[in-house]
Structure 1
Amino acid sequence: MRILDIKFNGYTKSLLMFFSMLFVAVQSFAFQPSDIKYVEYKGEVVNARNGRPISSAYLALNNSNISTITNADGEFSLKVPDDLTEATVTISVLGFQSKTLPLSYFKGSNTRIELDETVEELEEVSLYKATNPSLLVKEMLDKKNVNYISDNSLMTSFYRETIKKGWSNVSLSEAVVKIYKSPYNSSKKDLVSLYKARKSTDYDKLDTVALKLRGGPFNTLYLDMMKYTEYVLRPEMLDSYEFSFDDPTKINDRYTYVVNFKEIDESDPWYYGKLFIDAETSTLVKADYSLNVDDRDAAAAMFVKKKPSGSKVYPTELNYQVNYAQNDGKWHYAYGKAQMDYVVNWKRKIFNSKYKINSEMVVTDWQEYADNDWKKSADLIHPNVVMVDDVSGFADAEFWGSNNIIEPEKSIQNAIDKIKRKMDDE
């Protein structure tokens, strides 16, 4: 087994390289699904002006903790308890006006939801009082204990990770996970347990090297910038960033500052991106950011600690996204997405291998959890866990049961169909 260690500002994120398969057992635990019946609604969210699909649109069942998100094709799947027929659903996404619809509007399939683009000239809104972006970011961090949930929570989330070699899907992992989310004012790390998981990898197409992001669901969970400030926005390191205001916007019909940030020191790979801060409460509600790795030698020296003989490995693009949701006046982690592009050069091969790893996780339900026995009642996974090799779920239409998932994109669905056909032929 070879390990490819990747460091971010002193904190390790890793790629595992295997010359043999590593299997991790997944067992169920005390939190079993209830006997409640669920109704599934499917459809797409599109731009009202041109009909183009809208990705990462957030669908929240009002007066509940149930939610989901659209895929890259704008498609969604939402499972709702059948006793909530009078409920409403709010659909929101950056750059579009939010819309609230009765559940009766939704269908079992082909529900079409059109969102109008936000056209309001927000620069003129007098609500925007902040004049110093650095002080606004400092206030955002100082108010973390006030703005974010201060109780232990049990979150149900759906996680998906894909590995592409060129344009071909060569690995697909999916899981429903339970997250024991510690309060934002606590230094305790979050805990994760796999509830359901499935994975299929075509090792032959990975040049006999199985590449896997270490940590699976933890990779997206650690994108919670307000819980894990040590990874990017360490309060004591704010002076190492440049901050500037961008044009303000609205998210979920709330006025929002947009702050650009960039690390000043560019001698090593450096962070840059945008912070979306609620104008009324100074809460971080969304962040889009990247790690600049243009200097390949510096990136390789900083990231790659071990690699196979005769190869050169370096990342070419690293992008991240985190979204937060509000409930009863408190905010919490709702969605995380990481994209990593990298290249493997082999000395005795004419062409290099280009890989793209995408991982995303959406919180589909959550509840306050006051008990202290969660560690004892759940089979916890370590941040270094490798997703389980278990393809049985791909042939089972009822695999996920009542759990909300991210609807597969067309390319992922094609990969699943191939897996099903392969299993049928065996």
Structure 2
Amino acid sequence: MKRFDLIFSGKTYSAVLSLCLIFITMQSFAFQPADIEYVEYRGEVVNANNGRGISSAYLSLNNSNISTITNSDGEFSLKVPEDLIDATVTTSVFGFQSKTLPLDYFKPEGTVIELEETVEELTEVSLYKATNASLLVKEMLDKKDDNYLSDESLMTSFYRETIKKGWSNVSLSEAVVKIQKSPYNSSKKDLVSLYKARKSTDYEKLDTVALKLRGGPFNTLYLDMMKYTEYVLRPEMMDSYSFKFDDPTKINDRYTYVVDFREVDESDPWYYGKLFIDAETSTLVKAEYSLNVDDRDAAAAMFVKKKPNGSKVFPTELNYQVDYAQNNGRWHYAYGKAQLEYVVNWKRKIFNSKYKINSEMVVTDWQPYAGDDWRKSNDVIRPNIVMVDDVAGFYDSEFWGSNNIIEPEKSIQNAIDKIKRKMDDN
């Protein structure tokens, strides 16, 4: 067995995410079958103005814990138990008006849901006093100690990791994760422990190469831009970016600045995205950003340390998201998502192999921590953990019960709803 490492590095910081390409002996692990009969509805959610698909739109079957989320093209698959015939489905997404439709509107194929963009006259324009985007971002960083948690805390989170080859799901991992979250004004790193975990891999769909994501929950935890400022927005790197205002908006009924940022130096893969900054407190409440990898040779040189002979490996898309929540006037990490796409080109082969790797984590519980050394009573995992290799000791069939491995197309909230009682009991 040969092992090849693809190392995520970046311009100015050490490795955060990494992949392993591994030649493997063929074997198969079957996905667990569903116990309940479902009716599946497929379609897309589109912008009513231009017909374009809307990604990350949330479809929820009302009065149930069944939900799903659209993919990057706005497409969705919603599975509903056969006996729920009089239900309604609400579709919602940031920036658009929500819509509720009866279940009989949905079809097995070709369902189209049109959403209207939210148009709001902001009457309290005086709240938006900032006139210089760069100064606002600097103020956001300067106020980090005042706006974010200043004491240690314990968080319970749900983590999910999926790997696709083409349109086929080839590897799924999910886990309940315990985090000792260090204060935002401290350089101390967060500690992570796997509480319960499980995995499923279908090697028959991988041909001769398996792709593994190294880092597990740390990949999404390190997206906490305000805790780990060294990875993207180091204060001393402010001059390396250009900042400009986009149209302001509201998040959770709070007026919010939207700042577009972009690295000035585009000679190597470079960051760009949006910062959502609370207008009243100058707090970063959300960030959506990407790493431009259009220069394939530069991206391969930066991210690929070793690769199989006769192949060319390069990333084609790297997207990230982080959301924050507020408790007693202090903000903290609440959700992180990384979406990665890789291509493996083989010599003397007509078709290449495309892989999509998604990892996301959501905090389900938070509480202050005032105990002794947390590490002494918990099995802390390494930042370079590989979920599909290292989680065997955390599997507990009684905990997971009859719940299947959650389908990647479903919202992560759907996974949490299915195991919430077990999480509460434990």
Once the two structures are superposed, the pairs formed by residues 69-148 of structure 1 within 5 Å of their partners are: 71-72=69-70, 94-95=94-95, 118-122=118-122, 125-148=125-148
Alpha-carbon deviation of 1:409? 2.8
SS of residue matched to 1:196: strand
Q: 1:11 aligns with which of 11, 14, 21?
A: 14
Q: Distance in 1 between matches of 2:350 and 2:116?
A: 49
How has the CA–CA distance of structure 1 residues 124 and 253 changed in structure 2, closer, same or farther, with 3 Å as cutoff? closer
Q: Would you say 1:315 and 2:319 are equivalent positions?
A: no
How has the CA–CA distance of structure 1 residues 251 and 331 changed in structure 2, closer, same or farther, with 3 Å as cutoff? same
Q: Check whether the contact 1:95–1:251 (CA below 8 A) recurs between aligned residues.
A: no
Q: Distance in 1 between matches of 2:55 and 2:267?
A: 37
Q: Would you say 1:290 and 2:290 are equivalent positions?
A: yes
Aligned to 1:399: 400
Mean alpha-carbon deviation: is it higher for 388-397 or for 329-338? 388-397
Letter in 2 for 1:11: S
How has the CA–CA distance of structure 1 residues 311 and 408 changed in structure 2, closer, same or farther, with 3 Å as cutoff? closer
How has the CA–CA distance of structure 1 residues 332 and 133 changed in structure 2, closer, same or farther, with 3 Å as cutoff? same
SS of residue matched to 1:294: coil
Q: Distance in 2 between matches of 1:272 and 1:222?
A: 17
SS of residue matched to 1:226: coil
Q: Check whether the contact 1:93–1:252 (CA below 8 A) recurs between aligned residues.
A: no
Aligned to 1:300: 300
Letter in 1 for 2:4: R
SS of residue matched to 2:127: coil
Q: Check whether the contact 1:69–1:362 (CA below 8 A) recurs between aligned residues.
A: no
Aligned to 1:154: 154
Q: Check whether the contact 2:168–2:205 (CA below 8 A) recurs between aligned residues.
A: no
Mean alpha-carbon deviation: is it higher for 118-127 or for 220-229? 118-127
How has the CA–CA distance of structure 1 residues 54 and 205 changed in structure 2, closer, same or farther, with 3 Å as cutoff? closer
Where do 5+ consecutive residues of structure 2 fail to align?
26-43, 61-65, 71-75, 80-90, 99-114, 413-426
Alpha-carbon deviation of 1:305? 1.2
Q: Deviations over 1:299-336 (max 9, x none)?
A: 11111111111110000011100000011100000000
Aligned length: 352
TM-score with structure 2 setting the length: 0.73
Aligned to 2:181: 181
Alpha-carbon deviation of 1:253? 0.1
Q: Distance in 2 between matches of 1:231 and 1:69?
A: 33
Q: Deviations over 1:58-112 (max 9, x none)?
A: 99xxxxxxxx997445989xxxxxxxxxxxxxx99632689xxxxxxxxxxxxxx
Where do 5+ consecutive residues of structure 1 fail to align?
22-45, 60-67, 77-90, 99-114, 413-426
Q: Distance in 2 between matches of 1:159 and 1:351?
A: 33
Q: 1:2 aligns with which of 4, 17, 36?
A: 4
SS of residue matched to 1:139: helix
Once the two structures are superposed, the pairs formed by residues 344-359 of structure 1 within 5 Å of their partners are: 344-359=344-359
Alpha-carbon deviation of 1:136? 0.1
SS of residue matched to 2:382: coil
Aligned to 1:341: 341
Runs of 4+ in 1 over 3 A off after TM superposition: 52-59, 68-76, 91-94, 115-118, 388-398, 405-408
Instruction: Report the aligned-residue RMSD.
Output: 3.8
Q: Distance in 1 between matches of 2:385 and 2:393?
A: 20
Q: Distance in 2 between matches of 1:58 and 1:221?
A: 26
Q: Distance in 2 between matches of 1:57 and 1:123?
A: 28
Aligned to 1:328: 328
Alpha-carbon deviation of 1:120? 1.5
Q: Distance in 1 between matches of 2:67 and 2:221?
A: 16
Aligned to 2:416: none
Aligned to 1:244: 244
Alpha-carbon deviation of 1:53? 9.5
Q: Deviations over 1:41-72 (max 9, x none)?
A: xxxxx99x98x99947699xxxxxxxx99744
Aligned to 1:41: none
SS of residue matched to 1:3: strand
SS of residue matched to 1:334: strand
TM-score with structure 1 setting the length: 0.73
Q: Distance in 2 between matches of 1:292 and 1:266?
A: 9
Alpha-carbon deviation of 1:366? 1.2
Q: Distance in 2 between matches of 1:227 and 1:335?
A: 13
Q: Distance in 2 between matches of 1:281 and 1:74?
A: 39
